[in-house]
Chain A
Amino acid sequence: MKVIYTDSLVIGGGLAGLRVAIAAMQRGYDTIILSLVPAKRSHSAAAQGGMQASLGATIKGEGDDEEIHFADTVKGSDWGCDQDVARMFVNTSPKAIRQLSAWGVPWSRVRRGDREVVINGEKVIITEKDEAHGLITARDFGGTKKWRTCYTSDGAGHTMLYAMDNKAIQMGIPIHERKEAIALIHEDGVCHGAIVRDLISGELIAYVAKATTIATGGYGRLYSITTNAIISEGIGNAIALETGIAALGNMEAVQFHPTAIVPVGILTTEGCRGDGGLLLDKDGYRFMPDYEPGKKELASRDVVSRRMTEHMRKGKGVPSRYGDHLWLDITLLGRKHIEKNLREVKEICEYFLGIDPVEEYIPVRPTQHYSMGGIRTKPTGESPTLKGLFSAGEAACWDMHGFNRLGGNSVAETVVAGMIVGEFVADYCAANALNVSTSTIQRFMKQEEKKITDLLVRDFGENPFQLKAEMQKIMMDKVGIFRNGEDLSQAVEELKVLNRRAKKIALRNRISSSNPELVEAIRVPKMIKLAQCVAYGALLRTESRGAHAREDFPERNDRDWLKRTLTTWKDDSADMPEVFYEDLDVMKMEMPPGSRGYGVDNTVHHPDTVKRELEIEEIKKANPGADRFELQELLNPIPIPEKFKGKNERIGRGFK
C-alpha cells in the first residue's frame, strides 16, 4: 500500500486550492496539491471578466467601499448568503487584489484624462483623475452600484491563475498532476486525507494529512449545456457527500449565465454588457429596458436569464436548428475596444461561430454557469460536522453567494477564501497531531480497490457515457432556469432510477491503468448522487429565491424559507439523499431582508425582519459617533484572521 504523508492536502489546483496551499506553506506546513490537470489549465483560467474589489480608483467607482460591495453581494444573494462570510469577503478582497498585484498580475490600470465609454447604449466621455493614474482600474458588471470589477484586458482569470501558480512554483509546492481523489479517509468524525487514483498508471495511493481541503470547483457538468470546463463534474463535492458526515449546502442554487454562445455553450463574458453591449430580440429590438427599466442589461444574472427566457417564450427568440436564441450586440463598442478588452470573445466568435463580433451580432442564450451550492463550511472553511475537512472556492458553500452570485465575485471568492481558509488550515495543522491507524487507511483503500475490481470483472451492464447523458438531459429539461413541482418530481424519480442503474456499470475496455471509460465509471455514480441532491432540494424548496425560480411558487418566502438546505447521504445503499435545513438568523443580520429592486416585490416577510430593523436603528441611535467600522463591529462581528483586519486605503479618502 502506497501512503504519502503531509500536513495539508489540497484537492484541486485552481485559484482557491493554490491559495490555500500557499497560505499553509507560508506558515511552515508541508503541503501537497492534487490536480486532475496541470494547475495552469484549471477552470479558473476561463474567468474572462474580472474580480470585484472596492478600490474605487476609476472615476465611475468613486465613493465605493466595503459597505457598498457588501450590500450588493447580500442583495445579489437574495438574502440567502451568510452575512458573516460576505463581510469577511468584502473586507479582504482589496487586500487580495493588491497582493496579487505584487505577485505579478498585470491588472489594467487607470489612465488619466478623457476616454469614451458606452453607457446605456450611448457614447459618453468620462474623465479619469490625475491622482488615480496608474492605479488598478475597474469595469461595470451586473448587479453592482459602482464600477468595481477589476480586470486584465479580457484575461483576468488567466493572469490570476498564472501569477498564483507561479507563486506556488516559487515556493516549491509540489503539485501532483493527473491524480483524482475518489474517496475521503475518515474515522470518528475526523478526516485524514484521501484515497487517490493516478490517472496514468491507475495506481491507488493513500494521501494522509492533518487537514484536507477540497477546492475542486463547481458541478456544472451535471447539465448537458454548460459554460463549465469538462472537468467541472463536482467529484470533490461527491466524495464529501459520500462520507455520510459532511453536508452539502444549497445544492439547488444553480446559476444560469445570460450570454453563452449557441449551440456549444461557451461563455461570452459579462464584460460585454458591462462595457455597453446590448441584448436584442429577433426584431433587433432592445427588450431588457421594458422588463428592468433600472438596471436593464446589467440587472443581476439570474434576473437577466429569466427575462431572456420569458421574452423567448413570447415568441421573440431567433429560431435556429438548435432552438431559439437572442442576440448580443457589441458592435457599438467598436473594433479597437473589442480587440483589446474583449479579444477572447472575438476569438471564440471567429473560431466557433465563424463571425466577426465587430460587425455581426452574437447568438446567445442562458446557459448553466455557476454552482452556488457545495460543501457546507463554517466561516473558517471547515466542515461543521467532519473535523479536518476544509473547502474553498466554488466547491464550497462557504456561502457568500446565497442563491445568486454576482459577476466578478467568483474569482474574487477563490483568492479571498484561499487567503482566509488557508490561515485556518494552518491553525488546524498547528493545533492537531496526525493520528490515524494504518488499518483505517487500509480499510478505505480496500473498499476503493474492490469497487474498481468489480467494474473490471463485470461482463454485462450499463454504459457510463449513456447514463451520464441521460442524467444531463434530465437536469437540463427539468431542473433548469424555471422550475415547477411536476417537472421536479419527475426529475427526482428518474434520477433515482439512474442511481440504481449506476450500480451495475460494465466496461468495454477492462484495464486498470489509464482508461477514460473507467474514469467515467468511477465518476458517473457520484455525479448522479449530486444531481439527486440538486433536484430533490429544488423540489422541496417551495419558494423562489435568486437563481431558484419556481413557477408554482413565484414569491420569495422569508417566513418559511429563510434557511439553508443541507444534504447528506448517510447510507451508501440508499437511493435518495437526506435533506434538512439550518435557519438563517435574521436577528444577527447586518442587513435584514429587503427588496432587490427587480420586478414586483412579492416577498413574504419573516416576522423578525421588522424587529431586527428596529434593533439596528436603536443601535445606531445609541452610538451616534460610531464610524462605519465601529458600526459593523456592533452589528456583525466577524471571525476574520488578525492579519486581514486592517482598513483598506483608497485615493481621496485614505483609510476612512
Chain B
Amino acid sequence: MSDQERVLKFQIFRYNPLKKGDKPRMVTYEVTEAPGMTIFIALNDIREQQDPSIQFDFVCRAGICGSCAMVVNGQPTLACRTLTSLYEDGEIKLLPLPGFELIGDLSVNTGKFMRAMSERVESWIHDTRADDVNYEKLEERMDPDVADEIYELERCVECGCCVSACATKRMRPDFLSAVGFMRLARFALDPRDKRTDDEFYEIMGDDDGVFGCMTLLGCEDYCPKDLPHQTQIAYLRRKMVLIR
C-alpha cells in the first residue's frame, strides 16, 4: 500500500428532524486519509474537526455490537470495520439505514425496532421450569453439536442490515424480516424451548411472517455475520407448511 496521503470525499446525508426548518440534504466533507482508516475514524474526524453536530452511532467499534450499520456507497454494512482504502476513487457516500425511524443524519432507532421484534417472536426460552431450576445441581446436559448449532444462529448482532436490504419489508411494513426469522430458527432448534410447531405457526405462519418472503435474499447478501438466512427461511417455511 502506498503511503502517499490522499483526500477522501465523503458525501453524507444530513437531516435533523428536531431542528425547525431543517431539510434533508447531502453534504460533502473532505478528510485526509490515514493508514488503516475506517469509516468510524473518518466520521469522528469530521465531527471533531469540521462539524460537531453530525449524528451517528458507534459503540464497540470492533464489529461486535451492531450499532453502526449504514448504507455505504449503496450497500448496507457495519461502518466501524469498513476501511476507507476499499474505495479506490476515494469517494464515499453515506446514508442512514432505511426501514428504521430516523433520529438524525446517520443515526436510526434500531433499538426500538429490535425490542418490538423480540417481543413479537417471544425471544426467550419457553419453559415454565426455567425460573425454578435448581442451580445447585448439575446443569441439564446438551449435545455439544446442538450447542454449537444454536450458537451459529445466535451470532446475529441485530444491526438491521437484513431489514434494510429486504424488498419484502419495503412492501409490507409489518414484515418480520430475516432478523426475526433467524431468532425463531434459533429457538426452534433449542431443546430447552418447549414451544410446539403450532405455537411457532401462530407467530410466523402468515404473509407478514415466513410466507411473505419473496426470496430475493438481500438478507443473505448483506448479513455482516454471514448467517445462513436462506437455509433457515427455507427450513422454517417447510416446517410451517407441514402444519396446516
Contact, CB under 8 Å: B124 / A104: yes
Most buried by B among A106, A158, A169, A509: A106
Interface bracket on B: 35 or more
Contact, CB under 8 Å: A348 / B62: yes
Contact, CB under 8 Å: B151 / A649: no
Indicate whether A38 reaches chain B with its CB closer than 8 angstroms.
yes
Contact, CB under 8 Å: B53 / A43: no
- Mark each residue of chain B from 36 to 69: 1 if its CB lies under 8 Å from any CB of chain A, else 0: 1010000000011001111101111111111100
Contact, CB under 8 Å: B38 / A352: yes
Contact, CB under 8 Å: A649 / B138: yes
Contact, CB under 8 Å: A38 / B143: no
Indicate whether B141 reaches chain A with its CB closer than 8 angstroms.
yes
Contact, CB under 8 Å: A104 / B125: yes
Contact, CB under 8 Å: B55 / A38: no
Contact partners of B155 in chain A: CB under 8 A: 155, 158
Indicate whether A513 reaches chain B with its CB closer than 8 angstroms.
yes
**For window 54-98 of chain B, which residues contact chain A by CB distance below 8 Å?**
54-55, 57-67, 81-83
Contact partners of B119 in chain A: CB under 8 A: 169
The distance in angstroms between the C-alpha atoms of A347 and B51, with both chains bound, is 32
Contact partners of A580 in chain B: CB under 8 A: none
Contact, CB under 8 Å: A106 / B65: no
Minimum CB–CB distance for A642 against chain B, Å:
13
- Specify which of B81, B115, B143 is in contact with A109 (CB 8 Å cutoff): B143
The distance in angstroms between the C-alpha atoms of A344 and B115, with both chains bound, is 25
The distance in angstroms between the C-alpha atoms of A137 and B62, with both chains bound, is 27
Contact partners of A177 in chain B: CB under 8 A: 111-112
Select the stretch in B23-31, B128-136, B215-223, B236-244 that faces chain A: B128-136
- Mark each residue of chain A from 322 to 342: 1 if its CB lies under 8 Å from any CB of chain B, else 0: 000000000000000000100
**For window 77-108 of chain A, which residues contact chain B by CB distance below 8 Å?**
94-99, 101-104, 106-108
Indicate whether B203 reaches chain A with its CB closer than 8 angstroms.
no
- Mark each residue of chain B from 3 to 17: 1 if its CB lies under 8 Å from any CB of chain A, else 0: 000000000000010
Given A159-B151, A177-B111: A135 touches B141 (CB 8 Å cut-off): yes
Contact, CB under 8 Å: A648 / B136: yes
Indicate whether A465 reaches chain B with its CB closer than 8 angstroms.
yes
Contact partners of B65 in chain A: CB under 8 A: 37, 40-43, 45-46, 229
Contact, CB under 8 Å: B18 / A513: yes
Indicate whether A298 reaches chain B with its CB closer than 8 angstroms.
no
The distance in angstroms between the C-alpha atoms of A596 and B119, with both chains bound, is 49
Contact, CB under 8 Å: A37 / B67: yes
- Mark each residue of chain A from 107 to 144: 1 if its CB lies under 8 Å from any CB of chain B, else 0: 11111000000000000000000000111110000000
Indicate whether B199 reaches chain A with its CB closer than 8 angstroms.
no
- Specify which of B52, B63, B124, B142 is in contact with A170 (CB 8 Å cutoff): B124
- Specify which of B61, B66, B83, B124 is in contact with A266 (CB 8 Å cutoff): B61
- Specify which of A94, A102, A108, A162 is in contact with B192 (CB 8 Å cutoff): A102
- Specify which of A95, A134, A135, A178 is in contact with B135 (CB 8 Å cutoff): A95
- Which residue of chain B has the shortest Cβ distance to A650 in the bound complex? B138
Contact partners of A514 in chain B: CB under 8 A: 16, 18, 55, 103-104, 107
Contact, CB under 8 Å: A647 / B136: yes
Contact partners of A134 in chain B: CB under 8 A: 141-144
The distance in angstroms between the C-alpha atoms of A465 and B193, with both chains bound, is 48
Contact, CB under 8 Å: B111 / A104: no
Contact, CB under 8 Å: B52 / A231: no
The distance in angstroms between the C-alpha atoms of A511 and B190, with both chains bound, is 49
Contact partners of A104 in chain B: CB under 8 A: 124-125, 190, 192-193
Contact partners of B59 in chain A: CB under 8 A: 37, 41-43, 229-231
Contact partners of B107 in chain A: CB under 8 A: 514
Contact partners of B60 in chain A: CB under 8 A: 41, 43, 45-46, 229-230
Given A37-B111, A158-B155, A348-B63: A98 touches B139 (CB 8 Å cut-off): yes
Contact, CB under 8 Å: B151 / A155: yes
Minimum CB–CB distance for A356 against chain B, Å:
16
Contact, CB under 8 Å: B138 / A135: yes
The distance in angstroms between the C-alpha atoms of A169 and B126, with both chains bound, is 13
- Which residue of chain A has the shortest Cβ distance to B82 in the bound complex? A351
Minimum CB–CB distance for A54 against chain B, Å:
13
Contact, CB under 8 Å: B124 / A106: no
Contact, CB under 8 Å: A513 / B190: no
- Which residue of chain B has the shortest Cβ distance to A347 in the bound complex? B63
Given A104-B190, A229-B59, A651-B138: A516 touches B47 (CB 8 Å cut-off): yes
Indicate whether A451 reaches chain B with its CB closer than 8 angstroms.
no
Indicate whether B110 reaches chain A with its CB closer than 8 angstroms.
yes
Minimum CB–CB distance for A98 against chain B, Å:
4
Most buried by B among A37, A104, A107, A264: A104
Most buried by B among A38, A43, A515, A648: A38
Contact, CB under 8 Å: B64 / A98: no
Indicate whether A559 reaches chain B with its CB closer than 8 angstroms.
no
- Mark each residue of chain B from 103 to 120: 1 if its CB lies under 8 Å from any CB of chain A, else 0: 110010011101100110
- Specify which of B81, B115, B122 is in contact with A38 (CB 8 Å cutoff): B115
Indicate whether B35 reaches chain A with its CB closer than 8 angstroms.
yes
Indicate whether A634 reaches chain B with its CB closer than 8 angstroms.
no
- Specify which of A102, A137, A263 is in contact with B133 (CB 8 Å cutoff): A102
**For window 155-203 of chain B, which residues contact chain A by CB distance below 8 Å?**
155, 157-158, 190, 192-193
Contact, CB under 8 Å: B18 / A110: no
Indicate whether A4 reaches chain B with its CB closer than 8 angstroms.
no
Contact partners of A110 in chain B: CB under 8 A: 144
- Which residue of chain B has the shortest Cβ distance to A348 in the bound complex? B62
Contact partners of B133 in chain A: CB under 8 A: 98-99, 102
Contact partners of B35 in chain A: CB under 8 A: 321
Contact, CB under 8 Å: A107 / B18: no
Most buried by A among B64, B103, B144: B64
Contact partners of B138 in chain A: CB under 8 A: 135, 649-651
The distance in angstroms between the C-alpha atoms of A422 and B48, with both chains bound, is 40
Contact partners of A162 in chain B: CB under 8 A: 154
Contact partners of B131 in chain A: CB under 8 A: 26
Indicate whether A167 reaches chain B with its CB closer than 8 angstroms.
yes
The distance in angstroms between the C-alpha atoms of A267 and B66, with both chains bound, is 17
Contact partners of A347 in chain B: CB under 8 A: 63, 81
Contact partners of A201 in chain B: CB under 8 A: 18
Contact, CB under 8 Å: A351 / B114: no
Contact, CB under 8 Å: B103 / A649: no
Given A267-B62, A352-B36, A514-B103: A108 touches B148 (CB 8 Å cut-off): yes
The distance in angstroms between the C-alpha atoms of A165 and B115, with both chains bound, is 10
Instruction: Identify the B interface with A (CB < 8 A).
Output: 16, 18-19, 35-36, 38, 47-48, 51-55, 57-67, 81-83, 103-104, 107, 110-112, 114-115, 118-119, 122-125, 127, 129-131, 133, 135-144, 147-148, 150-151, 154-155, 157-158, 190, 192-193
Cβ-closest 7 pairs across A and B: A134-B141, A38-B111, A517-B52, A106-B150, A109-B144, A98-B135, A509-B53
User: Besides A96-B135, A102-B129, 9 other CB < 8 A contacts?
Assistant: A45-B157, A102-B135, A103-B125, A169-B115, A266-B61, A267-B62, A351-B81, A515-B53, A520-B52
14 A–B contacts from the bound complex (CB under 8 Å): A37-B67, A41-B111, A46-B60, A94-B135, A102-B125, A104-B193, A106-B142, A109-B141, A158-B154, A169-B118, A169-B124, A465-B52, A646-B136, A649-B137
